[in-house]
Each structure stands twice: as C-alpha cells, then as structure tokens.
Chain A
Amino acid sequence: RKEVEQDPGPFNVPEGATVAFNCTYSNSASQSFFWYRQDCRKEPKLLMSVYSSGNEDGRFTAQLNRASQYISLLIRDSKLSDSATYLCVVNAAGGSYIPTFGRGTSLIVHP
C-alpha cells in the first residue's frame, strides 16, 4: 500500500465550479502536511500547508483529519488557471522528515 494515496482523476469541471480532492496517508506518525501544485513539465510548488484546525487561502481551503488520516483540498469558483496536478505531501517523523508524495490529482477547468 502506498503511503500517500490520491485519486488521479482527471477531474474535469467548468469554470466557477467547486471541486474537492481527498488524500489518505498511512503513517500515523506524520507531522506535516501540504498541498503542492504542479504544472505540466514544471517543478512542484507549494500551494498551501495544512493545519489541524483547517486553513483557508482565498478560494482554497485545506482540512486535516488526523483520526481518519486524510487531508482534503477544496477549490471554490474554479478558474481556467487552476488547471494543474495537485499533489498531496506528508512529512513523517520517526525516521526522516523527507516529504512523501501522492501520485497527484489532475484538474482540468474548462470554459
């Protein structure tokens, strides 16, 4: 079982739609959680960190559920420019803090 699991999609949504991605992780010792965005043929870049209390950044909301070991990302009022792959990332304690990546969820926003 992969340590970080994501639905690869693609999620194909119209502009203005609300879309949600989920991610599950297997290591209960995980300490830090992030969502990254990756555009085609580019390096991943941090979208937002995920905090236990949940956090929001403009149209983006991230939630963490430690008991169920999942992370979510909600995108409201989708824009064409939101089209990308979204990567769920977990830093686990107890060995190394090297980031572990999910395979990514592809989002396509169409007019």
Chain B
Amino acid sequence: NAGVTQTPKFQVLKTGQSMTLQCAQDMNHEYMSWYRQDPGMGLRLIHYSVGAGITDQGEVPNGYNVSRSTTEDFPLRLLSAAPSQTSVYFCASSQTTTEAFFGQGTRLTVV
C-alpha cells in the first residue's frame, strides 16, 4: 500500500551543494512529475516523464535534472543549490486520465 514514496522529508543545504530527491511509485504508473510549491504560487511543474527513458521540462526546470531509468523511480537532482530553490517539493504519479497520487513532500531549505 505504499503508493508514492518520497525522501527525504526535510533537508537543509548550503548554497552550491548538490543533492537528489528520491521518488518511487509502486502502482505501475506511466506518468511521473515533480512540482515545487511556494507561498501564493500553487504547484508549479518542474520536470515530468511519460514513461521510462522519456523526460521533459515543465514550467520551472532551471537548476534541476531528472532521469527515468525505470517505471518506478523518478529522482530529481539539484545541481548547485541556490536560496531561490528553497521550497516544498512534491512528486506525483498518474495514468493518462486518472488522478495524481502524491508523495508526502520534501521541505528543502537552502542557506
């Protein structure tokens, strides 16, 4: 009954550090996506994938990389953390016309 598992839940980085946010789903969903949520901005799409080996940019992709080597996993990499990347990050998975299922979120602070 895991659904979407997202780790870590909290992270503090120093400016310039890199890190990977992990996301895994066990529902065999084709579509996976990463969002960031900032106050007053709603959820903004960073990157998404429509299947293993296929990724594309969303609305706010700069400073982030993704890969999708398996159906289950969709990690998000911060290449060189900046204070502007302080945010709450959500990973989601879905099928074509079904609802999205979310991980519990990662609260990232960059100092």
User: Which A residues have a C-beta under 8 Å from some C-beta of B?
Assistant: 8, 31-32, 34, 36, 41-46, 49, 87, 89, 91, 96-104
Known interface pairs A43-B105, A44-B102, A98-B58; A91-B42 also in contact (CB < 8 Å): no
State the CA gap A36–B92 with chains docked (Å): 13
> Number of contacting residues on B, CB 8 A?
27
Is the pair A101, B94 in contact by a Cβ cutoff of 8 Å?
no
Give chain B nearest CB distance to A101 CB in angstroms: 4
- A104 and B42 CA atoms in complex are apart in Å by 6
CB distance from B96 to the nearest CB of A (A): 4
B-chain residues with CB within 8 Å of residue A49 when the two chains form the complex? 99
A43 and B45 form a contact (CB under 8 A): no
A53 and B29 alpha carbons, distance in the complex (Å)? 27
Contact residue among A31, A36, A100 (Cβ-Cβ distance under 8 Å from B97): A31
Query: B21-35 toward A: CB 8 Å interface, digit per residue (1/0)?
Result: 000000000010101
B70 at the interface (CB under 8 A from A): no
Main DSSP-derived SS at the A contact region: strand
CB neighbours of B43 from chain A (8 A): 44, 87, 101
Report yes or no: A43 in contact with B35, Cβ–Cβ below 8 A. Answer: no
Return the 9 tightest CB-CB contacts between A and B, nearest first.
A103-B42, A43-B102, A101-B43, A32-B97, A97-B96, A46-B99, A98-B48, A99-B100, A98-B33
Is B40 interfacial (CB 8 A cutoff)? yes
The listed residue with most B CB atoms (<10 A of its CB), out of A31, A34, A43, A89, is: A43
B104 at the binding interface (Cβ < 8 Å): yes
- 6 A-B contact pairs sorted by A residue (CB < 8 Å): A44-B43, A44-B102, A49-B99, A98-B58, A98-B94, A99-B100
Tell whether B75 is near chain A: CB-to-CB under 8 Å. no
Q: Contacts A43-B103, A46-B99 given: A100-B90 contact, CB under 8 Å?
A: no
Complex Cα distance, B98 from A31, in Å, reads 10
Is A99's CB under 8 angstroms from B97's CB? no
Q: Are A99 and B92 in contact (CB under 8 A)?
A: yes
